[in-house]
């Protein structure tokens, strides 16, 4: 998928973020610091990571500045309410930066933290892929805990199977 203009990217990204927000809302507040294994990201770490990478890596680099990501630890925000506030505030800051880009900016090369060059629209696509990757972790963590999660596109796979069975039986 090529991103050819800023408004369409922002619209698409808002839909991605809505799905991420829905799964985050499923996390029991008393499990924000839970992890499946010592030394691995907690739910809170995952949420802070999505926010910090978006703002301090992707948003900085599209402006031509070096990445400023320094991690996703509790020093950024601790406790469910503070973590969610951090998540939402960094997103608003990032959206302001992305909104300031022109459609022509999307075709410019930017410097990645690894020293490579990438077209801006491809970098923004990687941002979306990164968020989806970590949202999948949240779904997995919740599954391990047996916590029900919202379907990504409105129906669960079981509901799609039921509908398909009804349709094929008519």
pLDDT at 71: 95
Model confidence, pTM:
0.92
Say which residues have a Cβ less than 8 Å from residue 120's Cβ, sequence separation at least 6: 62, 101, 105, 106, 107, 108, 109, 110
For Cα atoms 134, 70, 123, give the angle at the middle one, nearest 5 degrees: 55
pLDDT at 167: 82
Backbone torsions φ then ψ of 137, nearest 5 degrees:
-60, -40
pLDDT along the chain (170 residues), means of 10: 90 96 97 96 98 98 95 97 98 98 95 95 97 97 95 79 80
pLDDT at 153: 77
SS3 of 65, please? coil
Helical residues (DSSP H) of the chain, grouped into ranges: 6-24, 43-53, 60-62, 80-99, 120-145, 157-168
CA–CA distance, 113 with 153 (Å, rounded to integer): 33
CA–CA distance, 145 with 112 (Å, rounded to integer): 36
pLDDT at 118: 97
Domain spanning 6-168 has what CATH number?
A: 1.20.120.450
């Amino acid at each position: 998928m090529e991103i050819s203009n800023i408004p369409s990217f922002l619209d698409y990204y808002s839909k991605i973020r809505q799905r991420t927000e829905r799964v985050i809302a499923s996390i029991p507040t008393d499990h924000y610091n839970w992890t499946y294994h010592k030394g691995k990201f907690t739910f809170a770490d995952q949420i802070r990571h999505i926010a910090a990478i978006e703002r301090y890596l992707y948003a900085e680099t599209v402006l031509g500045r070096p990445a400023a990501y320094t991690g996703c630890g509790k020093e950024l925000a601790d406790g469910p309410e503070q973590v969610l506030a951090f998540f939402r505030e960094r997103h608003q800051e990032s959206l302001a930066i992305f909104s300031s880009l022109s459609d022509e900016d999307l075709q410019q090369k930017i410097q990645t933290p690894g020293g490579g060059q990438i077209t801006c629209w491809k970098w923004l696509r990687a941002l979306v892929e990164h968020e989806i990757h970590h949202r999948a972790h949240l779904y997995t963590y919740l599954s391990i805990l047996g916590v029900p999660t919202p379907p990504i596109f409105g129906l669960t796979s079981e509901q799609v199977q039921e509908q398909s069975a009804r349709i094929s039986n008519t």
